[in-house]
Structure 1
Amino acid sequence: MRKLLISSIAFAALLSSSFAFAQTLPQLLESPNYLQLSYNLSHTNLSPEAIKMAFAGYHWAIKKHKVKKRDILTIIDFSLSSAMDRLYVINVKTGAVLMSAPVTHGLHSGANSPWAKNFSNSPNSLESSLGVYITENNPYTGQFGYSLRIAGLESSNSNAEARAIIVHSANYASRSFLKYNGFLGNSYGCFAVDPALVHQLIAYIEGGSVLYAYANSKQYLTSTHILTAV
């Protein structure tokens, strides 16, 4: 594929215009900014479907007036192994990948396994939840160290706050644990990353940005409204 050379200023202008006028999903996926961003992300581990769904969810959340920090999008692709970088933070305005990292899934999503297979929004399920989240303000230091609360916007993750689903660090999500064990340990449904990365990650995403968690889950993909409501 021919490399697209678009300056940051021009790219930001394309972003504003295409999101202002893209009223349907096909229009969104044909917009210049989406084509450029999907090209940039083709060099990552992310699956094309995860990228498409994340941008549909991002656009859906904007139309719902839920997004305060529009330049940042975080994509988590649970179709990938936890041994891989499967969390990506993207600057939507410039098309740059700001950081990537392995991230945990919930214990009952795939215990002692690199693969997440089960997903739930139910309290005490100890499973990861899929869909569109919005990050909150005011990071804090709590039981799991430096942390950030997130709110679920879909029926698939609406109990995130009640379940205390947060972004935090954990030793079982560290590079050293990964090297020793071959894949990450499990959270109780939270998005846990290497302690060495958590401050950088939270600094990028706090304050009302979209975080999207994807998996090739028939239950989620047939129930989400983000594909029909954009």
Structure 2
Amino acid sequence: MLQTLVTSLLALLPLLTHAGDLEQRFPADALQPILQRLQQNEHPRFAVVDYSQRSDQKRFLLYDSRSHALLASYRVAHGKGSDADHDGYAERFSNESESRASSLGTYRTGEVYQSRQPGHGLSMRLTGLDPSNDKAMERAIVIHAMDYMEDRFIRQHGVAGRSFGCLVLAAADRDQAIEALQGGALIFAIQPPTAPSGTH
């Protein structure tokens, strides 16, 4: 009985430790639209992609919708059109079909499927909910995996690879993110005006 209680408390410890991380991490002007949108969505989890961080940082942040506890964080690629000099920072965003850039805005997760594109594997469609990303379906912006997000690639090249605008993760991270967010979760792709960590 006592061992079961201890095990349960240990399982909750990460949530208790990181509760309120969302409010501590982002400035008020970035938080307000996120919190407003969350009130209209009943999914137990959501994610924030913080494009103020470099692509080799864990900037895909998975949260609990009720406590705003940080549940997990992953590296995620940005589009080639967002990073012309390939320095690891997204500097330009676009909703246009041929831009190969990332788009800022709120996404809702949709269908999970096996992609026929080489290396993509399990994938999840995204619907853009804002004027800044409402062409996501038309552009085939999805969550998938590629080898350029794996640790060995980043160690070898010093920077993560770039996508055509998709949210690309390492394979194991992709599986966890899709499992946690499938079924209508919200993903907020943002670039706070000031990076809290001071990295850029």
* Shorter-chain TM-score tier: 0.7 to 0.9
Change (3 A) 1:58 1:140: farther
1:115 aligned residue: 89
Aligned residues: 173
Is there any run of 5+ residues in structure 2 with no aligned partner, and where? 1-11, 194-200
Is there any run of 5+ residues in structure 1 with no aligned partner, and where? 1-7, 12-35, 218-230
Q: Which of residues 15, 30, 37 in structure 2 aligns to 1:60?
A: 37
- Tell me if the contact between 1:54 and 1:75 (Cα under 8 Å) persists in the aligned partners: no
Following the alignment from structure 1 to structure 2, what is the Cα–Cα distance between the partners of residues 123 and 167? 17
| SS of alignment partner, residue 161 of structure 1 | helix
Give, as a single letter, the amino acid of the residue that structure 2 aligns with 1:127: A
Matches within 5 A, 1:24-173: 37-38=20-21, 42=24, 47-49=25-27, 53-54=30-31, 56-60=33-37, 62-63=39-40, 67-69=41-43, 71-111=44-84, 112-136=86-110, 138-142=111-115, 143=117, 144-173=120-149
Following the alignment from structure 1 to structure 2, what is the Cα–Cα distance between the partners of residues 175 and 198? 14
- Tell me if the contact between 1:150 and 1:166 (Cα under 8 Å) persists in the aligned partners: yes
Change (3 A) 1:117 1:190: same
Shift of 1:168: 0.6
Shift of 1:60: 2.7
Q: Percent identity?
A: 29
Change (3 A) 1:99 1:55: farther
Change (3 A) 1:171 1:90: same
TM-score scaled by length of structure 2: 0.79
Shift of 1:99: 1.1
Following the alignment from structure 1 to structure 2, what is the Cα–Cα distance between the partners of residues 61 and 155? 18
Give, as a single letter, the amino acid of the residue that structure 2 aligns with 1:101: Y
Aligned CA RMSD, in angstroms, stands at 2.2
| SS of alignment partner, residue 132 of structure 1 | strand
2:191 aligned residue: 215
Structure 1 segments, 4+ long, off by >6 Å, are: none
